[in-house]
Structure 1
């Protein structure tokens, strides 16, 4: 009997675990840690959405099994959102399905369309489920550049020409988690044209569609004519409406892919609790001021953090979208790698961030910083980082960092 099951053997150790363990030890020692690691929104869900949940849950008829693909009103509301936001017409019956967050939708679609021997093209770095959802399904993953430009398109072309068998699908995620990059509609046009020619599915993760800071909203790949021939797109209410714990998302687009996901989900779940679906419908159909308020909040935090980090001597780019900053590790600490640097930042500055290698090996020279604390806590984090960076400028060797961690343990 083997030590581990086959699918588990394909999963590497969870790289965030080391930083999470160090964070737990610090808190157990009564240290005040500012946690900018997990992308977990700290603002409450808007009151009108909560009120609709309470109203719905008081009706005992909603306590029964729900619909796996989502109640009809919710699917119609999502189709209406796509029509007003992107100018895209969707059939709520065949081109929309509600999911338990975008993460579950991606993982279950992987189970539906991938099998051992298949190859999926995934940006590196990218959100872990993009890669591991397909690895769990038994497929192989080929890394491609993470930038929405000609370099990515050329890499996809090389993969199609040189992979045997030909890749099944390519994943894109813009605005990106973790890099915060945004794709143009021109990029999507080229991608759709290529994928239609080569019969390659596009799986687009658009979870951060509404979290942008400029005047031009990020586009949807489904805006491109003919995109529904090859593309399905995942969205989430977690960030848009501050509903992360509600676990409500959607997949929309290609009817064949939606049907495959619907069939797999019908064997696995009965859908989200009906009152959650009713409240999500109210969110999509109701007043949208809360989205603009959310953008203003995150933009204020972004500007405060970027300005403070620059003043501390840490040159980080200002993201155009998402709730993350993709920060290159300062040069003198880069030899440590992202896990050891994150642990050092936690130990000396009392600030937790996510190591970039957790999103792929090509992210190991970055850390991801989430805008999930209020301005007071961000200023506290900046003071700790400034003291750390401007104090002892000598970066420890990897051996010294490991020794320091041993002492702390």
Structure 2
């Protein structure tokens, strides 16, 4: 979004228009644009309003009903923190006794909203003028939040009375490609890390693909998943990491308006060496946050199982693993094992044909076979459905036929 579009949207006519549009429907967007033009709405304003309608619809997955009263940029929606995770960020600062947070890369203000919503004072900055203006609109209901068009790294944190710092460096190029090198973040990760010398309560959101080598030894690095989707890793320093440095995985599950969680941490047992053995009656795939955090061995112990292969994140058990209670999110997705066979395209094709399988879910780890290629080679026909797991067992390629466990 450019400055002229933002100016039009913030006019009384523009704000009324964007808030009066029906829920976004891509199939109806062209017809709606034509109707607005026929009603005499300025074409540029109509286009900007329709864009906001589309972005709001996309942002609802992260921000829920809050999205309906906000403005967005395309990049801002992509990088915005999910509200349920942003609330956990805010709780860290509150628990650490922080009173004023500097959000150095506020974007559209999702994290700043959570900070201000819990009573923290917020100084939010963004280097992009339009983005800073959008954040100002989104934080309009919180007098304790100030937004500036500025480089957050240029702030005099002590003079500003800041006792907590948060940053979410940009991890995409202008063309939209992901950036995996922390030195190429904007701002660079090293420059943000250095701020802990001024303000020990420092938190940094990073991409979940960040490599373990080179992670700061004085930080808790926590990978977070929401409903099976790994959404971020966070680096937490000083009082924001009350349990000390290390790696952790936070698994969140949302359903029916409630959120359950499960925390798994590394510790003095980091050299856990789980057993490796034959396929049992059940198969478990640890949550992605657990895998990214390198805590598969810990999850294996929790599940009471063994690995199929020391290098692959599949856990097998002879009996069902204990089910989590209603307040706890599951560490892994479970399956009942129905059949096991060495990988042979001819044998697998015959197996599925005999059972009339026409719909196939394919999961894989440790194999070069792609699900799309396999489906085309199998030429499936029938009304039945099946779930296959392609993986290695004792170094050899195998196929496991499984069915998901209820719940």
Q: TM-score normalised by the shorter chain: which range applies?
A: 0.3 to 0.5
More strand by share: 2
More helix by share: 1
Larger radius of gyration: 2
Of the two structures, which has the highest relative contact order with CA contacts closer than 8 Å and spacing of 6 or more?
1
TM-score w.r.t. length of structure 1? 0.33
